[in-house]
Amino acid sequence: MPVPCRAGCGKNAMLKRPKTGDALCKECFFWAFETEIHFTITKGKLFKKGDSVAVAASGGKDSTVLAHVLKTLNERYNYGLNLMLLSIDEGITGYRDDSLETVKQNRDDYEMSLKILSYKELYGWTMDEIVAQIGRKNNCTFCGVFRRQALDRGAAMLNVKCIATGHNADDIAETVLMNVLRGDIARLKRCTAISTGSEGTIPRVKPLKYTYEKEIVMYAHYKRLVYFSTECVFAPNAYRGHARALLKDMEKIRPTCIMDIIYSGETMEVKEAVSLPSQRVCIRCNFVSSQEVCKACVLLEGLNKGLPKLGIGKSSKAKRMLEEYNAKQNKSLEEAINNINEEYEKNNCISKGKVCRSSCKSKQTAQINKTHKTTSETCCNGQSDEKLNTDNDITNSKVKVLLKEYGLSEATQDDSSNLISEKIDHSNTEKVANATNDDDFEVDSHNTDEQIVDEDDTCGGACGKIDSLHISF
């Protein structure tokens, strides 16, 4: 009792499309699937001819299909895009190391260059090490926040015009639902945007925004695309898992609900009276943030200070914790600053703490870790470990040279922590420059990512896909 293809091609249908209910054969499905993505791209004006585009690649189904389809459409419709793969290695043994092998397969299959950037080199911590510190409860927070920034850094290194991510229709509907369930109006407004990125940031685009997960999996299956589907070894986010399960249940009954939820999210209007957090710049790392200090810096500071819970939960809570911490530390601040110069004379390259221990042999890595440490230590105005202060000045002078070289002016701060803030900017700049050995990337240290603080409890890629969490088996 085969069903004929709805397109009238004479072949037997192989699947029922959830979006339209049409029964199509493989070939007509491929055509419909790819053409819809092409329309999404052209209607949303996601790319310009000649653009370099980084495909955020996790090795999972969505990014694998995205890379494949973008390559196909680029050739078919002559987009003139220079496509490349960008992967983040969170440092999750038994998970990401395996999935990166899949990404390498994508690189070979699709003949695209591949850049892999690790948390270890950017932040001084692998996810394995972070989980060892904080346990498995909130690790997705760290992973998600760090990944967003890592992707931006990687994209800046690659000097691309935008980052294409594999978010599919189900993911976006799920995020709309989550934001409604949390009453998170600011994110609700943003989460359906097909292209995000405020001024100065590298835009993120979602070519699969209207593409159903079922179709992505069927496409990958029929095209025999190789993808990685092992679950992240760390615990997923239960709340999102419930939202996802609810959505899947509803989709079963009425598949168009996915498109309808996205439509609702897109057209919902926010009352003028609702106050939305204004975007500003993190005083530490200069990335866009809705808070004084961005989430990534707060989390990193927590890790480096042994207060790993610092960035977990509401930002107001983190602020309170920081204030308490600062209050304690302020007494010793002046003393600590005085020590900086003295200590600097004595210690030129001290590696210390967890992050530096293993990598000090490599000067480059050591510097990254060191400056990282510096960033977090100085930014809270607290000097828990005076030895650390010595790094500030090393960094500071080096960075001054760098800043001159790149023609960047020093950031000015008008608050009392002037000295500290300056150092922060510098150390961050140096960190970036060191991490990349790429002059162009310098720009990125003043770049921003509005999403850094956007999603504080969403697993980004550890659960398999960039920026979205999937319920696990």
Partner 1 sequence: TMEPLKVHIQFGGGAELLFDKIKRREVELPALKKYYPDCKHEKWLIKDLLVWIKDNLLKERPELFLQGDSVRPGILVLINDADWELYGELDYELQQNDTIMFISTLHGG
Binding site for partner 1 (CB under 8 A): 1-3, 12-16, 23, 58, 60-64, 166, 168, 170, 213-214, 216-218, 221-222, 227-232, 244-245, 248-249, 251-252, 461, 463-465, 470-473
Other residues' Cβ atoms within 10 Å of the Cβ of residue 138 = 21
Q: Which is nearer to partner 1, 245 or 268 (CB)?
A: 245
- Dmax (CA) for the chain in angstroms is 86
Residue written as token pair 């002078």: 397
Residue 4, exposed/middle/buried by CB under 10 A (0-12, 13-18, 19+)?
Answer: middle
Distance CA 295, CA 297 (A): 5
Given phi > 0 = left and psi -120 to 50 = alpha, else beta, which region is 135?
left
* Nearest-angstrom CA–CA distance, 391 and 373: 9
Cα-based distances in Å from 267 to 190, 191, 198, 212: 11, 12, 20, 20
Q: Which residues neighbour 26 within 8 Å (Cβ) at sequence distance 6 or greater? A: 11, 14, 222
The answer to whether 237 touches 231, Cβ cutoff 8 Å, is no
- 172-193: b or e for each residue (b if 16 or more CB lie within 10 Å)? bbbbbbbbbeeebbbbbbbbbb
Smallest gap from Cβ 250 to partner 1, in A, equals: 9
**Cβ proximity to partner 1, 112 vs 232, nearer residue:** 232
- Shortest distance in whole angstroms from residue 8 CB to partner 1: 16
The CA distance from 409 to 446, in Å, is 11
Work out how close the CB of 296 gets to partner 1 at its nearest, in angstroms, rounded to a whole number: 22
Nearer residue to partner 1 within complex by CB, 222 or 263: 222
> Residue 435 Cβ, how far from partner 1 at the closest point, in Å?
26
CB of 342 to partner 1, least distance (A): 51
By C-beta, is 222 or 406 nearer to partner 1?
222
β pairing state of 82-89 and 52-56:
parallel
* CB nearer to partner 1: pick between 102 and 428: 102
- β-pair partners for 116: 87
Q: Where are the beta strands (DSSP E) in 224-320?
A: 280-281, 288-289
Question: Of the two residues 216 and 432, which places its CB atom closer to partner 1 in the complex?
Answer: 216
CB of 26 to partner 1, least distance (A): 9
- Nearest approach, Cβ of residue 234 and partner 1 (Å): 12
Least distance between partner 1 and beta carbon 113 (Å): 22
Nearer to partner 1 (CB atom), residue 60 or residue 124: 60
Asked whether the beta carbons of 10 and 29 are under 8 A apart, the reply is: no
Q: What's the closest the beta carbon of residue 469 comes to partner 1, in angstroms?
A: 8
Q: Measured from the CB atom, is 163 or 186 closer to partner 1?
A: 163
Q: Residue 149 CB, nearest distance to partner 1 (Å)?
A: 20
Give the nearer residue to partner 1 in terms of CB position, either 2 or 407.
Answer: 2
- Whole-angstrom Cα distance, residue 170 to residue 247? 8
Of 114 and 217, nearer to partner 1 (C-beta) is: 217
Beta-carbon-side half-sphere exposure of residue 155 (alpha carbons within 13 Å): 29
Name which of 420, 419, 348, 322 is nearest 378 in CA terms: 420
